Chains A and B, each alone.
Chain A
Amino acid sequence: MTISDLRKTTVAAGTSEGAQEMKPRSESTAKELFREVGAVLRMSEAEAAQLADTGVVSEDQTMIINMGPSHPSTHGVLRLMLELQGETVLRCKPIIGYLHTGMEKTGESLSFLQGGTNVTRMDYASPLNNELVFSLATEKLLGIDQDIPERAVWMRMLLSELNRMSSHLLFMATNGMDLGAVSMMIYGWREREEVLRFFQKVTGLRMNHNFIRPGGVAADLPPGWRDDVLHILDLLPPRLEEYDVLMTGQPIWRERLQGIGVITKDEAIALGATGPILRSTGVAWDLRRDMPYLRYDDVDFDVIVGTYGDAFDRYSIRLAEIRESMKIVRQILDRMPKGNFRIQDKKVTPPPRARIDESMEALIHHFKIFTEGFKVPEGEVYVAIESPRGEIGCYIASDGSSTPYRMHVRAPSFVNIQALPHMMRGGLVADAVAVISSVDPVLGEVDR
């Protein structure tokens, strides 16, 4: 698509709201460059324009191309508008919204018990973390956040750590695939499937579990769960060593990733980036350690940080985090307490199945909870946890009814994706794929 074509489409779709596309260089140079460089580095518009001036301003020498929305390396439907001069990326603008299905609006008409089915579909690579943050926010509004039984808390931790592993294994697969290590794709998927098989045994589903619910979890761990987890823990370490041989130590792999997509500490903080992107710049910030939730302060693990803030650091951090999560899971296995898997508060917990056959009241109670839901006192809370992609937060405002008045999810990918223009500026177009992949966005969560 040439610039003149682009202008035409922009005009055709023009409304009072303005187009989302990147404007031609001549129309927005200083402002656009300021947005990409000056704002995060805290410089004036003039200084930023000077810094970003590559000596080429003529539109004849540059070309705006669309990458996506349907491109295998965009992990869904992310569209990037890239301004190229030869093979160099001068500017980049991510355009999102292709997967927008109004999940926050839908959340306003689902009860707090049904809400889990909605939020679990946002970040579909780590559904249990989404359910967890929604449940924690609801419990805080209900005022029962201190009363959740120990077994439920430790089960939540077990599932959320295994989910971190499966999500990072998926990253290993897609990162390998994006850079041409196609066998890595098969390996990553194979190992992830082992974890998903365990999820299927526990929750009944491979993804979108709706298993962690306000008040606890939906069911107790099945018989033999310990052996299944041990099987995963025994199987993974040699496989991860294979990854090291296949990727970490390979000169080609390092050449493709080292020094690519560099972001500094100040930029990452200014942009609100969290998770492996922030940690790759050397900031040791992990909500599990720094603002502990569940029982993360009772387990021993390391926060992995990088040094250079490049794509290789982000890759290594995720690989090391799989190992850290396995360390946590082993500790959870040793310490998993006995007891209830959900709170015995009649207000939020349905009666056990056996009681329904004997008692009319239990039947009515069961029916009421699943049709009407439970009322949540008026108020508003924001709860955040560490998802594999960074800080996932849930803001719920309740008006005292059984559905949230407003349910907002702070999606880590949505914020992290803003770092793309900064990482890509001045790089090669071939490295754009490596940079997108290293941010590991899940577009379901970006667009919600």
Chain B
Amino acid sequence: MLHDCPVGDSRGQTVVFIPRDRYLGVMKKLADDGFTMCVDLTAVDYLSHPGRSLPEGVQAERFEVVANLLSMQRRERLRVRVQVPENDPTLESLFDLHPGTEAMEREVFDMFGISFSGHPDLTRILMPEDWDGHPLRKDFAQGRIPVQFKGAAS
């Protein structure tokens, strides 16, 4: 347990499972512990793989936001996984704590449709602004939608 959150081990890498309602608070504590850099933030849609193994006390949800933290002083990495439910895909933004997550959170919003509350500029980043849907969701199959072009001469 780290800050009262279940800790797991994945191929020798430490993973901490933070409940969604305590996400920002624990991330602040981790930053104080020396994990000053958030190198990566992404998400996984576990729609078609529901039976994944999670430590006890962690309720599996459809989405999972994954953040990789780095402590330069201790030369250590720590991975944070947060369960985000399908019916309310929102999470607090890390922007105030790690401003470098700005583009990464926008990418997750763009690709998975997970909203980050408190993000200063939550718009699509890679897809066109008028794109329908969120491509990295598992129910957004490749080739499902005819290629969307706008303004092309017909």
Tell me the nearest residue of chain A to B42, going by C-beta. Answer: A408
Are A19 and B126 closer than 8 Å at their CB atoms?
A: no
User: Measured between alpha carbons, how far is A13 from B95 in the docked complex, in Å?
Assistant: 27
Complex contact A379–B10 (CB within 8 A)? yes
Instruction: Encode B106-134 as 1/0 by CB contact (under 8 A) with A.
Output: 01000100000000111111111111000
Instruction: Decide: A378 and B122 in contact? CB cutoff 8 A.
Output: no
Asked if A57 CB lies within 8 Å of chain B CBs, one says no
Instruction: Answer yes or no: A415 CB below 8 A from chain B CBs.
Output: yes
Provide the bound-state CA to CA distance between A51 and B39, in Å: 28
B105 to chain A, nearest CB (A): 11
The contact of B103 among A15, A290, A418, by CB within 8 Å, is A418
Contact of A418 among B13, B39, B68, B100 (CB under 8 A): B100
In this complex, the member of A17, A39, A109, A378 whose beta carbon has the largest number of chain B beta carbons within 10 angstroms is A17
Q: Is the CB of B101 within 8 A of A272?
A: yes
Contact between B42 and A290 (Cβ–Cβ < 8 Å)? no
Which listed residue, A14, A39, A104, A106, touches B96 by the CB 8 Å rule? A39
Does B142 sit within 8 A of A, measured CB to CB?
A: yes
A272 engages B39 (CB within 8 Å)? yes
Partner of B44, one of A20, A290, A405: A405
Also in contact, A380 and B10, with CB within 8 A (given A272-B39, A395-B42): yes
When the two chains form the complex, which single residue of B100, B104, B131 contacts A270, counting CB atoms closer than 8 Å? Answer: B100
Interface status of A96 (Cβ within 8 A of chain B) = yes
B98 at the A/B interface (Cβ < 8 Å)?
yes
Closest to B12 in A: A140
Partner of B104, one of A391, A397, A406, A415: A415
Candidates A382, A405, A414; contact of B13 at CB < 8 Å? A382
- Is A126 in contact with chain B by the CB < 8 A criterion? no
Query: Using Cβ atoms and an 8 Å threshold, which residues of chain A touch B77?
Result: 291, 382, 384
Residue of A nearest to B45 (CB): A406
Known contacts A270-B98, A418-B102; is-contact A397 B44 (Cβ 8 Å) = yes
Inter-chain contact B130/A15, CB cutoff 8 Å:
yes
**Smallest CB-CB separation from B120: which chain A residue?**
A35
B residues 18-63 near A (Cβ < 8 Å) are 36-40, 42, 44-45, 48-49, 52-53
CB-based contact A415/B103 at 8 Å: yes
| Complex CA distance for A143 and B10, rounded to whole angstroms | 11
Q: How far is the CA of A20 from the CA of B36 in the complex (A)?
A: 29
Contact B37 A272 (CB under 8 A): yes
State in angstroms the CA–CA spacing of A109 and B144 once bound together: 14
Cα-based distance from A380 to B130 in the complex (angstroms) = 33
Partner of A378, one of B13, B15, B52, B131: B52
Query: Is the C-beta of B135 less than 8 angstroms from some C-beta in chain A?
Result: yes
A51 to B25, CA, bound (A): 29
Whether the pair B37, A379 counts as a contact (CB closer than 8 A) is no
Give residues 393-412 of A contacting B (CB, 8 Å): 393, 395, 397, 399, 405-406, 408, 410
Contact of A395 among B12, B68, B75, B111 (CB under 8 A): B68
The CA-CA distance from A39 to B96 in the complex, in Å, is: 6
Counting chain B CB atoms within 10 Å of each CB, the highest count among A20, A35, A291 belongs to: A20
How far, in angstroms, from A448 to B15 measured CA to CA in the complex? 26
0/1 string, A261-305, CB within 8 A of B gives 1: 000000001111110000000010100001100000000000000
* B130 partner residues in chain A, CB cutoff 8 A: 13, 15, 17
| A447 adjacent to chain B (CB < 8 Å) | yes
Residues from chain B with Cβ under 8 Å of A105 in the complex: 135-136, 142
With A382-B40, A382-B79, A405-B49 given, is the CB distance from A271 to B99 under 8 Å? yes
A40 at the interface (CB under 8 A from B): yes
Knowing A382-B79, A393-B68 are in contact, say whether A96-B125 is a contact too (CB < 8 A). yes
Contact with B along A174-195 (1 / 0, CB 8 A): 0000000000000000000000
A190 to chain B minimum Cβ distance, whole angstroms, is: 35
A384 lies within 8 A of B75 (CB): no
B5 at the interface (CB under 8 A from A): no
Docked Cα-Cα span, A283 to B70, in Å, equals 14
Task: A290 to B37: give the CA distance in the assembly, Å.
Answer: 15
B7 at the interface (CB under 8 A from A): no
Does A100 lie at the interface of the complex (its beta carbon under 8 Å from any beta carbon of B)?
A: yes
In the complex, the answer to whether A20 meets B124 with C-beta atoms within 8 Å is yes
Say whether, besides A272-B98, A379-B10, A395-B68, A17 and B124 are in contact (CB < 8 Å): yes
Question: Whole-angstrom distance between the alpha carbons of A397 and B81 in the complex?
Answer: 12
Decide: A273 near B100, CB < 8 A? Known: A17-B124, A291-B75, A410-B40.
yes
Could you name 9 residue pairs across A and B whose Cβ atoms are closer than 8 Å?
A13-B130, A17-B130, A18-B129, A270-B99, A271-B99, A271-B100, A380-B10, A382-B79, A391-B39
- The 5 A-B residue pairs with the shortest CB-CB distance in the complex, in nearest-first order: A272-B100, A39-B99, A410-B40, A97-B126, A399-B49
Other A-B contacts than A105-B142, A291-B75, 20 sampled, CB-CB below 8 A, are A13-B129, A15-B129, A17-B131, A18-B122, A18-B123, A39-B99, A97-B126, A100-B127, A140-B12, A270-B99, A270-B100, A271-B100, A273-B100, A379-B10, A379-B11, A380-B15, A381-B10, A381-B11, A415-B100, A418-B100
Chain A residues proximal to chain B, CB less than 8 Å: 13-15, 17-20, 31-32, 34-35, 39-40, 96-97, 100, 102, 104-106, 109, 140-141, 143, 269-274, 283, 285, 290-291, 378-382, 384, 391, 393, 395, 397, 399, 405-406, 408, 410, 414-415, 417-418, 447-448
